[in-house]
Structure 1
Amino acid sequence: MNNFDYQQASDVSGTIKLACDNSQAKFIAGGTNLLDLWKYNLVHPSLLIDINHLSELSEIRGRSDGGLRLGAAVKNSDTAYHPSVETRYPLLSRAILAGASAQIRNMASNGGNLLQRTRCYYFYDHQVPCNKRKPGSGCPAKEGYNRMHAILGASEECIAVFPSDMCVALAALEATVNIVGKEGKRTLAFADFHRLPGDRPDLDNHLMPDELITSIDLPEKGFPLNYSYLKLRDRHSYAFALVSVATALELEGDIITEARIALGGVAHKPWRSAEAEEFLRGKPANKENFSTAAEIILKGAKGYGYNDFKIKLAKNAVVRNGMMALNPASQLPGAQPSA
């Protein structure tokens, strides 16, 4: 039996104070990952602080700079189907709808999506060593069954991957994350929010223990004309990505003037390559150039046995998704694949 207290605060400052007064407190919005971790005996909060009633976290609204602010407590489904997201940031809408199941998307929050823990089988089995759970204990995935694991950005300490779909699109869109804690407010570029494992794989991101994500800001540019989100997985429904790709393009005729490509399912955080994106600038949007970009993105990729196939899979996915982005309608049910 896990005994715990439950509290709501009327404002953000009160919420932060509750967290500062109890080191075993956890914020809860949807709780879809928190409750999993609890059931698997990986976390033991003594206090749940409900943030669903905080108005500052519960709305989607336009910004004065032309961008869009997504409240951290807004549910994934409400975000995906919001008219401004569907029309101005369709890449994000598609990525969210590729994640989990409809029931989970109806419950999961935007802020919680950023804070998901890995789905590594060894992490969830508290009877085996895991450096992400207990630094220095070992990483059995390196020599074990590692089919789902990282091919980029891994370390000797950890080869787990970050499971989010939403975050892959947020990386491509270059979102920013708004945070508040006892030291006040701060904003992080999305690229700087998550960490690679290094020698501290137990730290997934740069959020401090008493800090709370309040919102996510999208810039004005949303790439509504040429975009695609491709998720390759073992089954079409309710499965985590083996490889996913978010592609956003800006074109003049058939020439790429700007490219954003982010990969999921391959690393400890959504993966981008500035070198690959710069290579595509000024080039025709064709398979040959997307293939060269894929080689650049996957440069240095390393498999660990069971996941060796993911290197080729990721390269093919980058090419396929680049071509799909030329015709977003090709992603609709019943559409024929791009030539």
Structure 2
Amino acid sequence: MPRTFTDLTRHALNGPTMGTRWSALFHMRGDFETVRVHAAMADAVAEVDQQMSTWKPQSDLNRLNAACPGEWIVLPEQLMKVLQAGLAIGEASCGAFDIGMGDAVAAWGFGAVEADEAAIRAARLARRNSAHDILELDPANGRARKHADMRFDLNGIAKGYGVDRLAETAGLHSIEAGLFAIDGELRALGAQPDGSGWAIAVEKPDLHERAPHSIIELEDSAIATSGDYRHWVDIGGHRLSHTIDPRLGMPLRKPPASATVIARDCMSADAWATAMMVLGEQEGLKLAEKLSLSVLFLWHGQPGGTGCGIFANDKRDMRSRKNTAC
């Protein structure tokens, strides 16, 4: 007799990573062994963190950051994959997403050290080159080199890739459907046992409470949100968004409250959400239309309220979207 969804048990796994937590939600038979899966997922995201962290002095990314211009550095395959994606999205976004902003990220206090006035001044005055003009990748030989001094930062893409690794690890353990997340980046595989999509809340951009702005159902897609209301620094009484404007080497001056992007993989959704914050609604929607990206911009409304928006260019196979609520 074939099994039905009532034979399945809900499994929820989670653990620490990258200064936050990862999670995995899926349904399998009641006697499914989760211990090995949990360990494999923890190892997968730990590997991403060890390779791509700017907080770990011995990370592979920091080895590249410390290298002299012209020096080839051998890098692991996963890091090479993320660097390739970062450069490609950097070019496609006309520089709105740029992995070469490590000096500015650190200067403004979004890295492992506090904000530093001298470093901020240097970051703002520095002549800016795009990472795709400076970093040369040699995937066939697993190596990379810089053609000028530059510090790379993957905070706008590494968590999304970590989510993809969670999903890949699930597949290796015969888990064909589930919802996987790190912070505000999520990826859905398949559907829930009853055939419905995975319910994802797009958060209302509010500093003081956590509440949903809208709910969508996601299948075989990923979603990521970048915003100005969860991660920031206070400098001189001014709250500054953690998203750096690559053109100026400083936090965005008047960013949207949030930008949410849906893509096939979470690495891409993560990076494009950052790019859309930098571009803003007007330029972002133009590029989204050109590239057929699914993007939702939200903005802060009047005092005490929050604005609303709709997904633009949404051609994904999703169900029961409720994304125009205010």
- TM-score of the pair, normalised by structure 1: 0.25
Normalized per residue, the structure richer in strand is: 2
